[in-house]
Structure 1
Amino acid sequence: MYLTRFEINTARRGARTLLASPHRVHGAVLHGFPANQREPTEYGRILWRIDQRGSQALLYVVSPHRPDLTHLVETAGWPATQGWETRDYTPLLNRLDAGSQWAFRLAANPVSSRPKFEESTRSQRFGHVTVEQQTEWLLRRTERNGFGIPAITLDGADKEPDVAVHGRRVWRFPRQGRTVTLATAVFEGRLEITDAATFRRSLTHGIGSGKGYGCGLLTLAPLG
């Protein structure tokens, strides 16, 4: 598995067009791989996320194969001075142990499914739109993904999970003649690994839905 970082030149028209639609970014990321390297493997799948803070935009990609992002550098980067950085993700994955704690960031599509109509066997996905709903969505999924979120005490109040929600947004963009609506949120905080093997799979296969549209990629950083 590989972890790639690419800085987007937000001053370029191509970059602004790209960032306006997760569907466009999805296509651009896939074109970083030959057709026979785009499908999920036993080791993982292609996941991506864009982190935007101020005028800076960073594209992160986790993938079973090493990408070639020359096309992105030419249209949305700095062709004369800067490319992208790809590192082997395996050493980090191999040193993850149960009980260790990490700072984390996750962009996700917090949704739940329920019957579309009463007494119907068909279900429909409904996006969670409040901070409370989105936080609860994440907390319900931590155990099955091999980690937990420790609690902290804020200003002498009751303990709360050490996670914050920001970057909440509802995207609407065209795809194949219809409009796609996608609710997204970014989670940041502290986690503790409870099942290392399950957690590694979560890092390489993603969490939740909307993975083709920049959701599901969880990244780690040392605490400090």
Structure 2
Amino acid sequence: MTPRPAATFTTVRSALTLSPPEQAVCDDVHRLHLLVLSGFSNQSPGTTEQTPRPAQVLYAARRGTPQSGRTRRLTAAPPEQILVQAPLLPNWEPLRAAGRLIRADVFPVEHHVTTGDIIDIQVIANPVRRDTLTGKRVSVATPDEASRWLHRRLACSGLETSLHHIDPGERVRMTGTRTQSGDRITALYREMAARSRVLDPALLAHALEQGVGPAKAYGCGLLRIHQVR
């Protein structure tokens, strides 16, 4: 019997719990972005590891219940916990010592996937489309559009997914201000879930490493998978 193609993905993840004051500060998504990257700029003394490029760092924030304003648009609650993924060991001790983090657990992750495996997927994503008039990326408006967007991204990640097995989640707005320019940031995300069958393990391993979709600097794109036995 010919063995089925397989691939192994390994990485380092960190589970961070923010202090209450830091949660309030990191309600600004740019400040949250800087907090995550600071774990790689403060390497331990004597380390020979190189700081990873920002594009290699993925993260996902666990937040409270989104708030609904006058326009009924949902606004993100401040981040309480963060899951960070990067190819190198971080150093969170300066943030812990400063009281900005209550807890920081660092652990290895390994996924061994084989063609035909069934997996459950969770991802905080920023589904977008290209505006035909301006050429700019704009957030998709409806749950159906968001489901089709994720369906395409998962297909490019070596996965077969039925649209009926995608939960698009609700669209939520998060905001921030860039430190240098003062420009305002607005990003829309959905907490999405799907069940898929692995067709190409190598493509899936690449998607796990690189993430999916835009707005990765603001906590979108990190795939979290669980193999269904």
TM-score category of the 2 structures, normalised to the smaller one:
0.7 to 0.9
Structure 1: runs of 5+ lacking an equivalent: 118-122, 152-159
Structure-2 residue corresponding to 1:88? 108
C-alpha distance in structure 1 between counterparts of 2:36 and 2:177, whole Å: 18
Alpha-carbon shift at residue 58 of structure 1 (Å):
2.6
Q: Distance in 1 between matches of 2:197 and 2:18?
A: 32
Whichever residue aligns with residue 50 of structure 1, its letter is A
CA contact (8 A) 1:162 1:190 kept: yes
Letter in 1 for 2:83: Y
Q: RMSD in angstroms over aligned alpha carbons? A: 2.3
Matched, 1:14 2:22: yes
Instruction: Summarize the Cα distance change of 1:181–1:46 in structure 2 as closer, same or farther, 3 Å threshold.
Output: same
SS of aligned partner of 1:166: coil
Report the alpha carbon displacement of residue 192 of structure 1 after superposing the two structures with TM.
Answer: 1.7
Contact 1:169 1:185 in 2 (8 A): yes
Report the equivalent of 1:33: 40
- 1:62-211 to 2 correspondences below 5 Å: 62-73=85-96, 74-78=98-102, 83-89=103-109, 91-92=110-111, 95-117=112-134, 123-149=135-161, 151=162, 160-175=163-178, 176-211=181-216
The separation in 1 between residues aligned to 2:51 and 2:101, in whole angstroms, is: 24
Q: Is contact 1:30–1:38 with CA below 8 Å preserved after alignment?
A: no
CA positional deviation for 1:38: 2.9
| Structure 1 Cα separation of the partners of residues 108 and 175 of structure 2 | 34
Pair 1:59-2:82 in alignment: yes
Tell whether the 8 Å contact from 2:13 to 2:107 is kept in structure 1 after alignment.
yes
Distance 2:56 2:17 in 1: 22
Matched residue, 1:23: 30
**In 2: Cα distance, 1:134 partner to 1:203 partner:** 20
Aligned to 1:156: none
Write the letter of the residue equivalent to 1:215: C
Q: Give the SS at the match of 2:106.
A: strand
Unaligned runs of 5+ in 2: 1-10, 43-49, 66-76
Q: Is the 8 A contact 1:104 1:219 kept in 2?
A: yes
Q: Deviations over 1:187-213 (max 9, x none)?
A: 113122111001001001110111111
Quote the Cα distance in structure 1 between the aligned partners of 2:182 and 2:64: 32
Shift of residue 109, structure 1, vs aligned partner = 0.9
Residue identity over aligned pairs, in percent, reads 21
CA drift of 1:167 comes to 4.8
Task: Give the secondary structure class of the aligned counterpart of 2:209.
Answer: helix
TM-score in terms of structure 2 length: 0.77
Answering whether residue 59 of structure 2 is matched by residue 48 of structure 1, we say: yes
Report the number of matched residues.
197
AA matched with 1:38: P
State the distance in 2 between where 1:131 and 1:112 align. 13
Tell me, in whole angstroms, the C-alpha distance in 1 between the residues paired with 2:205 and 2:84. 16
